[in-house]
Structure 1
């Protein structure tokens, strides 16, 4: 299985109990396939808001792996820091 960082993060989620996946290899393939689909979508839909789509995908992927929706939202969409 490739994608060592994805595997590392998936393993951490499994160890914490957040991702109750039965097959880690299939889970990594699903994550990678979702990312490739988003890239394809950006090329075929030029008016798509890429930042919003990426944020939506970042929230969907942990949920796909079994993480609690309220926890995922809090982790993937924190308030942005005030840089002013």
Structure 2
């Protein structure tokens, strides 16, 4: 699991690179590589439904390397 990432509008530009720390003190990098003015919708589908609780409250275990936090999951009236 990584730290929460918030990118302000000024930093969300093509070519900008970001680094986030993981709980194991390693880092992973990601970059904004979209053309200016283009929106990107990130969609991650899983099947079966996420039911395994992750390492922290509100997170779900996606796989052995990644926990995710999501809200308003379709089919889950508790969200």
Query: Considering the TM-score relative to the shorter chain, is it more than 0.5?
Result: no
Structure with the largest fraction of strand: 2
Structure with the largest fraction of helix: 1
Q: Which has the higher contact order (CA 8 A, sep 6+)?
A: 1
Structure-1-length-normalised TM-score: 0.24
